[in-house]
Amino acid sequence: MDAVSLIPAPDAIPVHWFWLHLLLTLTTFLHFVAMNIMLGTGFIAFSTPFWRGNDVLPLNSHIAKVLPYSIAFTINLGVAPLLFLQVLYGQFLYTSSILMATYWLSIVGLLIISYYAAYIYRLVDEKTGLARLYIGASILLLLVVSFLFSNNISIMQMPEVWSTYFSDRTGWLLNFSDAALVPRYLHFIASAIAIGGLAIALYFEIRQRRGAKDGDEWIKLGCNWFTGATIINFGFGFWFLGALPTVAYDPATIGGKIFFILVVGSVATIIPAVASAQTGRIIPATAWALGTVLLMTLARDVLRLTYLKPYFSLPDLPYVPQYSSFVVFLLAFAGGIFLVGWMLKTVWNAKKEVA
């Protein structure tokens, strides 16, 4: 069946697509950062004891304390991009979600279990032995959830596979026909582990700046994870690139050109990030690495547009301007940022007083 005839008609957007895309990219970036911290630190906490034994338990207590926060923020910061993605690409996203409906809905249950497992790991005193099952389960489920997300985006971008619906309408579709699915997923996971390592280093660096004496060991451990995972990720990255259709980076098209520049840019920023981390300059390393994550987020946006090009481009969306609610949102957003800033500052200062 002809894929074009299956694509649902989109509803009208109330502001120019540019604004919605700006919000999409921005919130996706924030979501990725939170997700990387969550998945990366959790993965490191789970796996390091396998070869370092109980030495690393002090580190694990810290990670266990932060993990419920990072899960909460990952989910929260995931809600916003999912919203804007639906506004701009709903006709693709709803469809792909339905084709994998059973898996897609299972995400909710998996996340609830994973979240409570993380809380239990936080609340138990003994972080070895059986307790490791909790963090193991939590991380394993998060890895499954990530895979399901990759799968959804893969189906969403490839209307050419949608007609498989007619052979299974009960929502059990996984898109292994997409050669880029697995490398794409692994690329994301390795990135999370790298950024998770860097987050550990940053956490202890900040503690030291505030007067803590411990942490040298963990800064080093974090930086090593960052470096190791990044090197491996070059491999996954090239595999991913190789699996993409060539139009993705074809310099003859605008999209291809931009994508190419973004990829080169992210290589150009991750190298100084690794160099800084290896020489113990954590703050610059973090700044460079965040730059890489941002460039990769943008690359992903461009890639999606390339995939969908035969079927859709953003200016095609029906547009019926109604800006007033947008203004209200911007005010609420500014107010929210102010409040969050005030609250964090208050807590930060109070800790100083106590310490």
Partner 1 sequence: MNYPVWQLEFLGGGFLIAVIAIIHVYIAQFAVGGGLFLVLTEHLGRRNNDPGIIDYVRRHTKFFLLLTMVFGALTGVGIWFTISLLNPSATSVLIHTFVFAWSTEWTFFVVEIVSLFIYYYTFDTLSERKHLIMGWIYFGAAWMSLFVINGIIDFMLTPGAWVENNNFWSGFFNPTFWPALFFRTFFSIMIAGLFGFLTASFLKDKKLRTTMLRYSAKWLLVPFVLFLAASWWYRASLPPHIEEIIFQKMPQLRPFITLFMACSPLLILGGLIMAIRMPSGLSRSMAAVMLLIGLMYFGAFEFLREGGRRPYIIYDYMYSNTILKKDLDQVAEAGVLQQAKWIEHKRITPDNLGAAGRELFNVLCLSCHSIGGPLNDIRQQVRMSSPEELNLIFATMGKERPYMPPFAGNEFEKQVLIKFLNTNIRR
Task: Give the number of residues in contact with partner 1, rule: CB under 8 A.
Answer: 68
The DSSP code for 179 is T
In the region spanning residues 133 to 192, those forming contacts with partner 1, defined by CB under 8 A, are 162, 165-166, 169-171
Token readout for 320 is 């019926």
Residue environment code for 327-336, b if the CB has 16+ CB neighbours within 10 A, otherwise e:
eeeeeeeeee
The Cα 16–Cα 320 span in angstroms is 9
The residue among 239 and 326 lying less far from partner 1, judged by its C-beta, is 326
Neighbours of 280 (CB within 10 A): 13
Q: Is residue 354 involved in binding partner 1 (CB under 8 A)?
A: yes
In the region spanning residues 79 to 98, those forming contacts with partner 1, defined by CB under 8 A, are 79-80, 82-84, 86-87, 90-91, 94-95, 97-98
**From the CB of 245, what's the least distance to partner 1, in Å?**
25
The Cα 127–Cα 109 span in angstroms is 25
Q: Give the one residue of 112, 254, 264, 267 binding partner 1; rule: CB under 8 A.
A: 112
- Report the amino acid identity of residue 262: L
**From the CB of 56, what's the least distance to partner 1, in Å?**
24
Q: Is residue 347 involved in binding partner 1 (CB under 8 A)?
A: yes
| Selected range binding partner 1 among 72-80, 192-200, 270-278, 295-303, rule: CB under 8 A | 72-80
Q: Which of 63, 354, 315 is nearest to 210 (CA)?
A: 354
Spatial neighbors of 310 by CB under 8 A, at least 6 apart, are: none
Q: Rounded to 5 degrees, what are φ and ψ at 13?
A: -100, 150
The Cα 183–Cα 342 span in angstroms is 42
Q: Is residue 320 involved in binding partner 1 (CB under 8 A)?
A: yes
Q: Give the one residue of 53, 176, 335, 345 binding partner 1; rule: CB under 8 A.
A: 335
- Counting Cα atoms < 13 Å in the Cβ hemisphere of 194 gives 28
The site for partner 1 (CB under 8 A) is made up of 1, 5-14, 20, 23, 69, 72-73, 75-76, 79-80, 82-84, 86-87, 90-91, 94-95, 97-99, 101, 104-105, 107-108, 111-112, 115-116, 119, 162, 165-166, 169-171, 320, 322, 324-326, 328-329, 332-333, 335-336, 339-340, 343-344, 346-347, 350-351, 354
